[in-house]
Amino acid sequence: MRKFLFFIPFVLFIALAAFLFSGLFSDPRQHGSALVSKTLPAFELPDLMAPTTLYNAEKLKGKVYLLNVWGLWCPTCNAELGFLTELRKQGIDIVGLYYVQPQDSAFGESFDLTKLQQDVVKKLQEQGDPYRLNILDEKRSLIFDLGVTGAPETFLIDAKGQIRAHHVGDINPQNWPALGAQYQALLEEAAEHKPTAEAATTAGAAYAN
């Protein structure tokens, strides 16, 4: 008994050391998302290139896709464009959500859509265009409802419009395998829910490839 009591401080010290040591390798930016397993919040936002086209959560439903929050002002987003374009070539569906930074009118800044469109086209020509379409969120309303803290951030959305993953930071060859596996699993899940057996087999083949 006496020997056992003697070891208690040692055990406590080891536990504390292990806890603090594991903290060295944790990413303070990753603190969980309140949005995972919720449906995409309601919104009504224009297309970046054709502002008369409006999108809402209902319109985007029916497909598995990545919703990528990005902006030209964000260097990490620009660095990520090349890899995302590669993913698009592999058949990954990516929808862009353009993050407009607040404009300070005191410094003569104002939002200029035509200028932005020109800059975006130029950038995507240079770096590659990973996006099926781009949603413009000028007031950051959907971005706020998604709990986005900055750019880039990426959401994995299933065919039912439910958010299944929230990735903070860039997508790169190191972290893509985990997210990619989740993406493929959702494709499979979506195929299972489709009534025709034919659709399921084609999706299965795509997964095998």
Partner 1 sequence: MLTKFQSKLQKLQWLKTLLLSLVLLTPFTTSAAEELMQFKDAQQQALYRELTAELRCPKCQNQNIADSNAVVAVDMREKTYQLVQQGQNKEQVIDFMKQRYGDFVHYQPPVQWSTIWLWLAPLLLVAGLFFVMLQKQRKAQSDAGEQGAGKIMAADQELEQQLQALINQAMLNQTNQTSQTNQTKHQSAREPD
- For binding to partner 1 (CB under 8 A), which residues are involved? 28, 31-35, 101-102, 140, 144-150
Q: Write down the least CB distance from residue 13 to partner 1, Å.
A: 14
For the chain, what is the total number of helices (H) and then of strands (E)?
7, 7
Distance CA 109, CA 148 (A): 23
**Measured from the CB atom, is 35 or 190 closer to partner 1?**
35
Residues in the chain: 209
Distance CA 35, CA 165 (A): 8
**Measured from the CB atom, is 20 or 34 closer to partner 1?**
34
**Measured from the CB atom, is 2 or 115 closer to partner 1?**
2
Instruction: Name which of 94, 92, 87, 168 is nearest 133 in CA terms.
Output: 94
Q: Write down the least CB distance from residue 97 to partner 1, Å.
A: 15
**Measured from the CB atom, is 150 or 180 closer to partner 1?**
150
Q: 91 CB contacts (<8 Å, ≥6 apart)?
A: 206
Q: Write down the least CB distance from residue 149 to partner 1, Å.
A: 4
- What residue has token string 């083949």? 205
